[in-house]
Structures are given as C-alpha cells and as structure tokens.
Amino acid sequence: MLKPWYKKLKYLWYVCAAACIAVAVFAVGCFLHLWAPPARFYLFTAYVRQVRGDYQGAIKDCSEAIRLNPKDKRAYHCRAYALTETGDMTGVIKDCDQAIRIDPRDVYAYGTRGYTRESLHQYEQAMSDVQKAIELDPKMAGAYTVRAKLRNRIGDKKGAMADLDQAIRLDPKYGWNYAFRGKLKVDLGDAKGAVDDIEHALKLDPESAWAFASRARARLYLGNRAGALQDFNQIKRIDPKFASWYMGRHYMLALADVHAPCDKISSKALSQADLVYGEKQTTRMLKDRPRMANYVSKGDPVWTWTVRQFAGEGLGARILWNAVAPIDEHVRAYNSGPNDRRSFGLIAIREVDAGKPLSGEDQWSCAVFELYNIRNTKQFDETDKQAFAGKLTKEEFMRKFSTLEFNAGLSETSFYHTTWLPHARKNNLTATDSCWGVEDPATYDEWIACFKDPSGYPYCWYGTFYDQEVVPRLKENLSSRHQQQQHSPPVDRAKQSADLTRADVLAAFYYRHNDNLNAEKYYSQALAIREKALGPDNLDVAVNLNNLAFVYSQEQQYSNALSLLKRAKSIRIKALGPNSAEVDDSLKRMAALYCAMGRKREAAQLQTLLGSSDRDKLPQQQN
C-alpha cells in the first residue's frame, strides 16, 4: 500500500526546520556581533560551545569576554562551568572568588565553590560556602545536596537526611538525591525504606550506576544476595570503571561468604575455665573502652564470638586484654602472639586517635581485625625464619607479611556481613561499611596497589626491617660464620651514632610489629649506648626509659616498667623542675600503669598531683 504524499515529505520538513533554526542562530550571532557589545558576543558563543561539548573553546571565549568586560560575573560563571567539565577545580574556585568580589550576594558562585571545595576535600570551607548559599537563597536545591554530603562525612547522618528531604522537595526530579537518601537509610538501619527511595531514583534515571550500587548495598543489608548480585552486574554493564572502584568486597559478599585462611579456628577445645577467662577479658575490655559496650549485650552473637576468641578458640592460646593503649599515635590497635617468654597472646585498642575519640564501632572493627590477625602469629614467625635463612628477597618478605594482614582484613569483612550486620539490624544500631574495610579492593594485588607512598605501608615496617635486620645478619653469616670473634677496637663516635640509629629503628619496627621480645632487646641496646655516650641523667635517656617501660608493661612485667618510669621521672625533675610538661607526661604514664596493675589508689594520687601547681616535694615521692 502506497504512503500518502505528505508522509513522504516528512523528512524534508525536518530538514527545512533545521535549516531555519541554523539561519536564526546565525542571524542572532550577526546581530550581537554588529549591534551588541563584543563581550556579550563572546559570552553567547561560549554558551553555544558548551552546548556542543567544546569546553576548551568555551573557556577561550569566556576568557575573551572577561578581558573585554571584567565586571560581568556571568562570564566567570560560564568559565567556571567549563573548567568543572575539564577537571580544573582550582580554576573553578578562582572564578567563583572573582564573581563574589563583583557581587558579594552571588548565590551561584557560593554554591559552585562549595560543591568544588567538597570535591577537593576542603570540607570546612565547603560547608561555609553552602551555608551562605542557603542563607541567600533557601530554595537552592543543589546547596542542600552538598550540605547533606558534608554532614554525612562528619557523621551527622540525621542532619544529612533532613537536607536531602529538603532538596527533594525543591527538586523532585533529581534522582541522585533519592539514591543518596537510600544509602543513608541503610546506615540508619532502614534498608526497606532505602530500597523504595533507590527504586524511585532508578525510575528517574534507569542508567544510574550510583543508584544500582546503593540498592545492592541495601539488598546485602537485607540478606538478598541474589538481588545484590543482579545490581552489581548492572553496574559493570553501565560503568566498568565505577564498578572496579565501588564494588570491591561488597561484590564478594554478594557472591558468597568470605573465608580467608585466618578464618580457620584451631583444634583447641575450650574448657569451662577457658570460657570464664574469655568472659573476664571481654568484660575488662568493655569496661576500659565504654563506647564499645554500647554495641553489645551479654550473650548476643558479637559478645559470644569475642568471648570465645579471648578464650583461645581462634589462636589456640588464651588472649589477654591489655588496657595500656599504644604510644605510637599512628597505631590504632595492635596484637602480640605467644612467644618464648609467655604462652598467651594480647591485644590493645586505642581510645583516642588523632586527638578525637574513636567511635565504638571503630573500636569494635579494630578488635575484630586484631583477633583475626593474631591467628597469623605462626606464619609471621615462619616468614621471619625464612628471611633470616636467606630464602626470601625483600619484595617476597614484604608480600608475605602484607598478604597475611590482607587475609585478616577479608575475615574482618566476613565478620561484618555474617555477624555485625544481622546484630545491627536486630538492635537498631548503625553499621558503617568504611569501618570494616567493606569498600576495600577484593583482591590482594588491587589492595596493595593502593599503597603508593614509599615511606608508608608496607615499606616503612617490613621493608625497613629487612634492610636493617635481615640484610646485616645475612652478611654477617657469610663473612664470619667460621671465624672466632675478635676483640673489637674502641668504638668511634660515628660508629656509635650509627649503632644508636640502627637500634632505635629496629626497636620502633619491632614495637609496631608487636614483637615485644625484640623490641625490648633493641630498646635496651639503645639505652646502653645513650647512657655511655650522654650520661645516665640525660633527658634522651629518660625518653628511652619510657619506651622500654611501655614494652615491659605489655609483657605484664609491671615491676620492671614501674622502676624505669620512676627513674625517668627523677631525671626529668632534676633537669626541668617538678612543674614541667615532661614531668606531667611521666606522671600520666605511671598513673596508667597503676591502673593496669589494679592499684587505683596510687593512680588517683598521681592524678591529684597532675592537677596541683605545688610539687616541691615531688622528687621525694616514690609512689
């Protein structure tokens, strides 16, 4: 059947319409060029270039418009947008600064600068900008979205929810807000409500990888692994780069339970005495770290698992809770396995990190990681032996150690999914992925590639140890294995300094590696060198005494630790007087040690001295 003649001309009409539009645009451009100021002409062409995606051309035209009329804030707005698309965030901020100088009430400039600063992790400045934007224009939906992101970063999830509610009221067609609100609902325990929000986001934008990622996370929270896996497959289809960044261990949890080698428990059968011991250590930990106590109750799954780990189920030996937090401010928690001098392991967790109290959930994640990582004690020791026997290169040595810690991280993630999440759902507790390594890469090679700083992990610990300890031992074995040891010539100052540096480096390494036996050895070496070179009453000797005392306290050699701390305090009083900050430090250390020993009365007396300005009799007090 033949089509009517007018349908045959349909495409001709389209061509004519397009030609008319092109002529109109050309005519407007000619008009602006002939009759409008030149700056406005360049601004118009910049807008046209942006629509076409020619952002470099738009930047060039905006720059020309600014040169001709530097007081036109619209040109800075236009260029800032183009710079955002090219990734020049510093340039965006500079253009917004200039626009605000021209018009201090420029809402667009404040909002854009706030968004840009948030992307550059300048959170305080970003918050100031979006607050100003909202003050100037309470109906600016984008400002509420940025403020919600900022509030979420500082842990104010309810405030972030309120901002997203307002942003959605102002702009109900922006799907990203629904997806983000869904993510927050998961954090707050409302996974069903989260799915509703995210599905609405997918109706608005069916190709949103972010929305699929948020729904996958909500489905995991609800135990719907099959649905989560479907969402992850959609993410891979839509945006493979986003998938590789986001999915990580989330994807592993959707596929199956994560069971790393250190998930395997020992063959040790727990006796009633073991369980009583485990419960005692768990109770002490929750008493010393009260924020952790808010997350568990006696008899619940998290409590029971922790009791059994302290009792020795995973390690094969009992584990002691150590109330003395790590001195090293970069170490949140540590563990130390059984060794030749003691048959038990121990763990400790920091109360404050970088001047801020650790949340209860952060502390729990640290405890779980260390209770898994301590199971690697035998493998750590075996790796040391292989290195000293010359069977491992430096790279192989670092890889073996970091692989064991990676496996502990996988087990921590498994615990989060199988134990912590159900516990959180049942008790209306928050569950934060970032605390548990859930967003970390799923394979060792991807994970270790994230550590690119040559002075950071794993180089600073395992690489330094290999260079400073393994290599000299191997050279010594090769050169003097069958030779009798000769009397050493007098040590010169250069060699003495080198020996001291080596002892300090190795002591710090072994301390971080939780090898207290070797840490004690090298701290003692460093102390002997300092006493010989500087004299027994030097302030550097006092610092060394404190370090060695801390190692003794971890080994529960409290009398030795106390003796060293008293000596360090006496040195500081003699050199600096009783009211110095260094003496305060000594008193705090002694008070903490008395607490660990259960001698609360002596600890209270020292705390009283800390608050006193009159310490004339302090040198005579032996405490």
Task: Give tens-digit pLDDT for 250-263.
Answer: 555 555 544 444 45
Which whole-number Å values give the CA distances from 325 to 322, 441, 550, in the listed order?
8, 29, 10
Highest-confidence segment of 28-42, 271-285, 434-448, 554-568 = 271-285
Distance in angstroms (rounded) separating the CA atoms of residues 409 and 547: 29
Is 477 within a domain?
no
Q: How many CA atoms lie within 13 A of 581 on its CB side?
A: 0
What does the pLDDT average to over 37-57?
84
Is 453 within a domain?
no
Strand, helix or coil for residue 169: helix
Q: Does residue 299 carry a pLDDT above 70?
A: yes
Q: Are residues 126 and 209 part of one domain?
A: yes
Q: Name the pLDDT band for 430 (thresholds 50, 70, 90).
A: confident
CATH code at position 610: 1.25.40.10
Query: Considering only CA atoms, which of 252, 141, 208 is closest in space to residue 197?
Result: 208
385 vs 507 pLDDT, higher one: 385
Strand, helix or coil for residue 1: coil
Distance in angstroms (rounded) separating the CA atoms of residues 405 and 317: 20
Q: Name the pLDDT band for 13 (thresholds 50, 70, 90).
A: low
Mean pLDDT score across all residues of the chain: 81
Q: Are residues 248 and 277 part of one domain?
A: no
Is 26 within a domain?
no
What is the pTM for the complete model shown?
A: 0.57
| Residue with token string 């609360």 | 600
Is 5 within a domain?
no
Is 456 within a domain?
no
Instruction: Please list the residues that pair with 339 across neighbouring strands.
Output: 342
Is 18 within a domain?
no
**pLDDT on residue 526:** 84
Q: Are residues 571 and 423 part of one domain?
A: no
What does the pLDDT average to over 258-279?
71
pLDDT, tens digit (0-9, with 9 covering 90-100), for 195-204 = 899 999 999 9
**pLDDT on residue 199:** 92
Query: Considering only CA atoms, which of 359, 378, 536, 387 is closest in space to residue 465?
Result: 387
Answer whether 398's CB lies under 8 Å from 467's CB.
Answer: no
Number of neighbours of residue 287 by Cβ within 10 angstroms: 12
Q: How many CA atoms lie within 13 A of 165 on its CB side?
A: 7
Percent of the chain having pLDDT more than 70?
A: 82
Answer whether 360's CB lies under 8 Å from 295's CB.
Answer: yes
Take residue 210 and report the two structure tokens written for it: 């972010």
Q: Does residue 471 carry a pLDDT above 60?
A: yes
Take residue 514 and report the two structure tokens written for it: 């939780």
Q: Are residues 435 and 544 part of one domain?
A: no
Highest-confidence segment of 150-154, 387-391, 399-403 = 399-403
Q: Are residues 109 and 249 part of one domain?
A: yes
Element (H, E) at 492: none
Q: Name the pLDDT band for 172 (thresholds 50, 70, 90).
A: very high
Last residue of a domain, one of 224, 254, 284: 254
**pLDDT on residue 31:** 53
Q: Name the pLDDT band for 163 (thresholds 50, 70, 90).
A: very high
Sign of the alpha-carbon torsion through 585, 587, 592, 593: positive
Is 613 within a domain?
yes
Q: Are residues 180 and 63 part of one domain?
A: yes
DSSP 18-67: HHHHHHHHHHHHHHHHHHS-HHHHHHHHHHHHHHHT-HHHHHHHHHHHHH
| Residue with token string 């109906």 | 139
In the sheet with 345-349, reading across from the earlier edge strand, the strands are 319-321, 345-349, 333-336
Contacts 24+ apart (CB under 8 A), 93-100: 93/117, 98/73, 99/73
Which whole-number Å values give the CA distances from 193 to 151, 186, 328, in the listed order?
20, 8, 43
Take residue 576 and report the two structure tokens written for it: 């600096």
Q: Are residues 596 and 514 part of one domain?
A: yes
| Residue with token string 């705090």 | 588
Indicate the pairing of strand 352-353 with strand 356-357: antiparallel
Q: Does residue 492 carry a pLDDT above 90?
A: no
Take residue 33 and report the two structure tokens written for it: 């060029």
Q: In one letter, which amino acid is 52?
A: R
C-alpha distance across the termini of the chain, in Å:
109
Number of neighbours of residue 76 by Cβ within 10 angstroms: 28
**pLDDT on residue 255:** 52
Contacts 24+ apart (CB under 8 A), 190-196: 191/218, 191/219, 191/221, 191/222, 191/425, 192/222, 194/218, 194/221, 195/219, 195/222
**pLDDT on residue 466:** 85
Strand, helix or coil for residue 41: helix
Residue-range definition of the domain harbouring residue 203: 41-254
Q: Name the pLDDT band for 29 (thresholds 50, 70, 90).
A: low
Last residue of a domain, one of 223, 254, 285: 254
**pLDDT on residue 4:** 44
Q: Are residues 377 and 521 part of one domain?
A: no
Strand, helix or coil for residue 371: helix
Q: Are residues 438 and 336 part of one domain?
A: yes
**What phi and psi values does residue 336 have, to the nearest 5 degrees?**
-145, 120
Last residue of a domain, one of 429, 448, 467: 448
Q: Are residues 174 and 295 part of one domain?
A: no
Instruction: Please list the residues that pair with 347 across neighbouring strands.
Output: 321, 335
**pLDDT on residue 225:** 75
Percent of the chain having pLDDT more than 90?
A: 27
Indicate the pairing of strand 345-349 with strand 319-321: parallel
Distance in angstroms (rounded) separating the CA atoms of residues 619 and 571: 10
Query: Considering only CA atoms, which of 606, 252, 283 is closest in space to residue 433?
Result: 252
Answer whether 259's CB lies under 8 Å from 241's CB.
Answer: no
The mean-pLDDT minimum among 135-139, 218-222, 592-596 falls in 218-222
Is 577 within a domain?
yes
Distance in angstroms (rounded) separating the CA atoms of residues 70 and 39: 9
Q: Are residues 245 and 199 part of one domain?
A: yes
Distance in angstroms (rounded) separating the CA atoms of residues 260 and 405: 10
Q: Are residues 280 and 226 part of one domain?
A: no
Rg of the chain over Cα atoms, rounded to whole angstroms, equals: 32
Number of neighbours of residue 461 by Cβ within 10 angstroms: 18
Domain count, the chain: 3
For 53, left (φ over 0), alpha (ψ -120 to 50), or beta? left
**pLDDT on residue 107:** 92
What does the pLDDT average to over 539-563?
85
Number of neighbours of residue 378 by Cβ within 10 angstroms: 12
| Residue with token string 């996974």 | 191
